[in-house]
Structure 1
Amino acid sequence: MTEITNFRGESSPQDTRDHTEASVDGLIVRVGERVREARQRRGIPRRVLSEMSGVSPRYLAQLEAGEGNISIGLLQRVAVALDHRIEWLVGEDDPWTSDAVRVADLFRVANADVQQAALRILNPEPAEALRAKRVCLVGLRGAGKSTLGARLGAEMDAPFVELNAEIEEQSGMPVSEVMALYGQEGYRKLEAQAVSRVIATHETMILAVAGGIVAEPETYNTLLSHFHTIWLRASPAEHMERVRAQGDERPMAGNPEAMEQLKSILTSREALYGKALAQFDTSGLSEDEAFARLKDLVVDRGFLSA
């Protein structure tokens, strides 16, 4: 079509009307094609669709042929009968190749659990809501997680849980036996299950976890997402002395390189521990001093009043 312009080079009203009519014609054809394809995909004869929608077979035939200027009201009836959204029939994007439409179709036929899981992923809760009033203490053995965590729970009236105790309850055996029977991989699976269980069980809690959990990306990310995480750190020498003070000589027994190994572990995990929301160094502090600082940190950051 030759464009008609006025003396200022602008499109004329006639050209605008022609363009609008062409656009409307294109829309009618597109709607007809999509109604026909949707009906065929569902295996519905036109007669049945007519009965379901209340739109006459003749009108449906004209619509599918791109000849029927159907009203919005009637088109909505057809969309409902086809179990489609009306915008899928009139939108410019092809609904049969659109990821959004495919996801919607899969969502529609999924069971309730899958639908809820999809909604949580697609519309995640704010980080603070996910973390609720859960605090998780991370760090190597000897950092004070168990001692300070138990005191914090008692002081703040929050349940204190050691994740290894959860694993032992779940497995019915000590962690040492779990490791002996199932190895590191079996332990890590039980660890991940225990994390999921305490999240589902507690909105408010103090959790202490084993130092190596940070090396398991999926489990650690779950902790970071669902807990206000605090890294309790100390010097290698204090880590070692605190463990020995608990009566555990294993870190040094028969291993003259134990200290160097401990330093290496701390160095390798530093970036992972550093992902925690907060951290503080307990080196050189008495138990009371360390507890006072931990409590102040939790209160000041609002971790238990979220």
Structure 2
Amino acid sequence: MPNDSTPPDPAALLIAHLAGRVRETRKAQGLPRRVLSEKSGVSPRYLAQLEAGEGNVSISLLQRIATALDVKIEHLLSQNAPVDREAQRVATLYRHAPDDVQQQVRSLLAPQNPAALRAGRICLIGLRGAGKSTLGRLAGEALDLPFFELNTEIEQHTGMPLSEVMAFYGQDGYRALEAEAISRIVTQNDRMLLAVAGGLVAEETTYAQVLERFHTVWLRTSPAEHMQRVRAQGDLRPMQGNPAAMEQLNLLLKTRTPLYEKALAQVNTSNRSVSASLNDLLRIIASNRFLEVASG
């Protein structure tokens, strides 16, 4: 008995597939057809016909529909995997989430390889006067890496100098701004050098984020040199009217040393010239392969 069946029309199959993809994607996002019409500028009647598999659709209209659904046009045309409604919902939530939330999601989904999470980001920690700003800037130039100072980033973000930031936001507000700035910098940079304030290590959550997302280097020197360098910068506050300043500095360094020792590497700048300390820092970065992004 002869076979009278005719092969299916490829165009009709594509239209039927496209109809199902549009319908399923819209429903996965919980969008009424009326809302999709408003977002895409395509009439409800035309959308109804499209989802029913009736008629043809131009590429330009399909692109408008894909944009309104917040998916790529290839997703609607693909004949591989079916629409996963939950995955669609999560993807939409992610795309519209703030940068810090997206960063948290990426952290959870990324391969849990510490070196991979840190990428090519390096953070210099240590007390004021250890050389973070000077060595960070010079190392950035030598390695062709952008260099950031966290306090400067906070000033630029708030539009006010640090003294006003502290007066306006207070210590707790400033610490929150530090955490936000860290998240923002991590999101925007995979290769960079960062210098942070000496007290950041006392903020457990923020410091944990730095240790996770950066290769950390503790720049250290003697208490006497810390004090000398701060005074050389024109800041007499550590000494002015405070004869016990050196004693307090020694106590602060003793308290923070266990925290600074969590860094992956150390560079001692005591009795070292700037050029010698820079060479030490560059050697540490190279020997620890901080700029080689590990695979997951």
Q: TM-score, normalised by structure 2?
A: 0.64
Q: 2:254 aligns with which of 267, 271, 275?
A: 267
Extract unaligned runs of 5+ from structure 1.
Answer: 1-82, 84-105
Q: Deviations over 1:59-88 (max 9, x none)?
A: xxxxxxxxxxxxxxxxxxxxxxxx9xxxxx
d(CA) in 2 for partners of 1:119, 1:163: 22
Letter in 2 for 1:281: N
Change (3 A) 1:169 1:288: same
Query: Bigger shift: 234-243 or 106-115?
Result: 106-115
d(CA) in 2 for partners of 1:143, 1:158: 21
- Map of 2:39 onto structure 1: none
d(CA) in 2 for partners of 1:152, 1:139: 16
Change (3 A) 1:288 1:186: same
Q: Deviations over 1:223-268 (max 9, x none)?
A: 1011000000111000000111111111101111111111111011
- Map of 1:162 onto structure 2: 149
Q: How does 1:34-183 map to 2 (within 5 A)?
A: 112-113=93-94, 120-121=107-108, 124-183=111-170
**Number of aligned residues:** 203
Alignment pair present for 1:288 and 2:275: yes
SS of residue paired to 1:283: coil
Q: Deviations over 1:142-161 (max 9, x none)?
A: 00000000000000000010
- Map of 1:184 onto structure 2: 171
Letter in 1 for 2:213: H
State the 1:121 CA deviation: 2.4
d(CA) in 1 for partners of 2:276, 2:178: 31
Query: Bigger shift: 123-132 or 278-287?
Result: 123-132
Alignment pair present for 1:210 and 2:197: yes
Q: 2:233 aligns with which of 233, 246, 262?
A: 246
Alignment pair present for 1:278 and 2:256: no
d(CA) in 2 for partners of 1:118, 1:172: 29
When Rg is computed on C-alpha atoms for both structures, the one with the higher figure is: 1
Q: Deviations over 1:39-73 (max 9, x none)?
A: xxxxxxxxxxxxxxxxxxxxxxxxxxxxxxxxxxx
Letter in 2 for 1:252: M
- Map of 1:227 onto structure 2: 214
Change (3 A) 1:183 1:300: same
- Percentage of identical aligned residues: 54
State the 1:119 CA deviation: 7.1
Change (3 A) 1:290 1:173: same
Higher relative contact order, structure no. (Cα contacts within 8 Å, ≥ 6 residues apart): 2
d(CA) in 1 for partners of 2:105, 2:244: 49
d(CA) in 2 for partners of 1:184, 1:253: 22
Change (3 A) 1:109 1:175: same
State the 1:299 CA deviation: 1.0
Change (3 A) 1:257 1:133: same
SS of residue paired to 1:230: strand
Q: Stretches of 4+ moved more than 6 A in 1?
A: 106-109
Extract unaligned runs of 5+ from structure 2.
Answer: 1-83
Q: TM-score, normalised by structure 1?
A: 0.62
Letter in 1 for 2:235: D
